[in-house]
Amino acid sequence: MKQIALVFVSGGLGSALRFYISKTFNDYFPNFFLGTFIVNILGCLLIGLILGISFKHNYLSQNQTLLLATGFCGGFTTFSSFAFENHTLLKLGEYYGFAIYLGSSILLGIAAVAFGLWISKMI
Q: How does pLDDT run across 69-85, given as a tens digit for each residue?
A: 999 999 998 788 899 89
Q: What domain count does the chain have?
A: 1
Quote the CA–CA distance of 26 and 38 in Å, as a whole number.
Answer: 10
Mean pLDDT of 28-35: 82
Number of H helices, E strands in the chain: 6, 0
**Domain membership of residue 66 as a residue range:** 2-76
Residue 70 placed within a domain: yes
Quote the CA–CA distance of 90 and 84 in Å, as a whole number.
Answer: 10
Residue 86 placed within a domain: no
Nearest of 78, 72, 85, 71 to residue 7 by alpha carbon: 71
Residue 43 placed within a domain: yes
Is 35 labelled a binding residue?
A: no
> For the segment 32-41, what is each residue's pLDDT rounded down to a tens digit?
888 988 998 9
Does the pLDDT of residue 47 top 80, yes or no? yes
Is 77 labelled a binding residue?
A: yes
**Residue count (the chain):** 123
Handedness of CA 121, 119, 106, 66 (dihedral sign): positive
